[in-house]
Amino acid sequence: MAAASVGNLFLDIQSVKIPRTDRGSHRTAHTAGKLRISDFRFESGDVLPYVDVAFETWGELNTARDNAVVVCHALTGNSHCGPGGNTPGWWEGLIGPGKTFDTDFKFVIASNVLGGCFGSTGPMSLAEDKRPYALRFPLLTIRDMVRAQVAVLDAFQVQEVDTVIGGSLGGMQAWEWGFLAPERVRHVIAIAAHAAFSPLAMGYNEAMRQAIVSDPGWHQGEYYGSGMTPLAGMMTARSIGMLTYRTDELFWQRFGRGNAVRGGLDPDGDLPVTALQAFTTPQFAVESYLHHQGRKLAKTFDANTYLYLTRAMDGHDVGRGRGGLDAALSGFVPQLTVIGIDSDYLYGVNDLKGSVRLARAGGVDAEYLEMSSVYGHDAFLMEQEQVASLVQSIKERV
């Protein structure tokens, strides 16, 4: 990381918690806090006087300060990937004493991405004028996110990272860790993430963004404190996303052609009573599911953040500014494992295999592994036992 890119660091560990005992008398130290970075310069050239990066850690650094594991979250995720706190961690099955990332031996750290809405500075954060940044927040890249994460490791004085791992947007970050901190990372595991984002996935991101910005409640991004919110836009964006994250087979298993519990169909399955009900009220179970997921996300996730993070995903290309994809992959330094999902519609396994072939042709210690799941792209979140098994097999071969 260039010294000019990140200014002074101020580490604030806000709380220390001891979660439940997972194995015998062993307990895992769990901390949560924020890192304040002054004069942060984005790739765009924009500079903010400071940014905060929210993080959580599990376990403790060893004397050599080389046992860190960095976990990177997906689009709507956060730093709470492990045990402790009021809610389960989104990867709790992999983190803790005796688990894949054994916190008796490893220091696991995760942060909310720069631009996020779960503690890190983003569009909904207050600027120096005490107003939310909204669209005044700089456009950001995956590399900006990783540079902020590297600063968190600097603040903890981590010397070496054992593993960087993440899925989807988290996998994109993992890819960039291998380029932005190659001398510090031993192993990168990128799950369901291209080395360069595909045009199909970019198209779906644009459809989701258009759903949000077309909602009058978006108010040109200035909906904070206005009493307005782009609820309909967020619900539509989430529906589009869920249809690409899951599979046809799963939808048949879960919903089939079943009627919605409170749809407009009568008990015999006849036509809706009115056209208004037909077009505005869920008629089938799958529609109720999409409406529920949309409302749920709209309550917990900021719409502008969704716009910024999906646009950052569009720009993901490890070959950008590095001589193209072939040249960049041939210069990858850490050990590389790419994990694909056989039913993933957005991040096709052929593209992932192709990236590994290019890396291996350039002399990189790289391998491809594959998950088999009906869950599609979301399998890296839903099939934690399978992820754990694959990661364990990697560790045994190293």
Residue 14 and residue 132 share a domain: yes
Q: What pLDDT score does 398 carry? A: 60
Residue 353 and residue 339 share a domain: yes
Report pLDDT digits (tens) over 190-228. 999 999 999 999 999 999 999 999 999 999 999 999 999
And the tokens for 363? 């002399």
Mean pLDDT, range 110-139, rounded to an integer: 98
- Annotated catalytic, 168? yes
Between residues 14 and 74, the one the model is more confident about: 74
Q: The domain containing residue 114 runs over which residues? A: 9-197+320-397
Select from 258, 275, 309 the last residue of a domain: 309
Mean pLDDT of the chain, nearest integer:
92
And the tokens for 351? 């593209």
Q: Is 203 exposed, middle or buried (0-12, 13-18, 19+ CB in 10 A)?
A: exposed
CA torsion sign for 97, 102, 107, 109 is negative
Q: Which residues contact 219 (CB under 8 A, 6 or more apart)?
A: 226, 228, 230
Residue 143 and residue 31 share a domain: yes
Between residues 99 and 269, the one the model is more confident about: 99
Distance CA 13, CA 16 (A): 8
Q: What pLDDT score does 395 carry? A: 84
Confidence of residue 15 (pLDDT cuts 50, 70, 90): very low
Active-site residue among 79, 343, 377, 378?
A: 377
Cβ neighbours of 312 (radius 10 Å) = 24
Q: What pLDDT score does 268 carry? A: 53
pLDDT at residue 39 greater than cutoff 90: yes
pTM value surpassing 0.85: yes
Distance CA 175, CA 102 (A): 23
Residue 143 and residue 15 share a domain: yes
pLDDT at residue 25 greater than cutoff 90: no
Phi first, then psi, for residue 40 (nearest 5°) are -80, 125
Q: How many residues does the chain have?
A: 398
- Annotated catalytic, 268? no
The answer to whether the beta carbons of residues 55 and 153 sit under 8 Å apart is no
Q: 2 lies in a domain? A: no
Confidence of residue 272 (pLDDT cuts 50, 70, 90): low
pLDDT at residue 5 greater than cutoff 80: no
- Annotated catalytic, 330? no
pLDDT at residue 277 greater than cutoff 90: no
Active-site residue among 5, 168, 239, 343?
A: 168
Mean pLDDT, range 54-80, rounded to an integer: 97
Number of H helices, E strands in the chain: 12, 9
Residue 193 and residue 207 share a domain: no
Distance CA 192, CA 169 (A): 9
Confidence of residue 86 (pLDDT cuts 50, 70, 90): confident
Mean pLDDT, range 376-394, rounded to an integer: 97
Active-site residue among 162, 215, 302, 344?
A: 344
Confidence of residue 7 (pLDDT cuts 50, 70, 90): very low
User: What type of residue is 202?
Assistant: M
Distance CA 43, CA 219 (A): 27
Distance CA 242, CA 335 (A): 32
Mean pLDDT, range 314-327, rounded to an integer: 97
Q: For 234-293, give the DSSP string.
A: HHHHHHHHHHHHS-HHHHHHHTTTPBPTTSS--TT----S-HHHHHHS--BHHHHHHHHH
Residue 305 and residue 326 share a domain: no
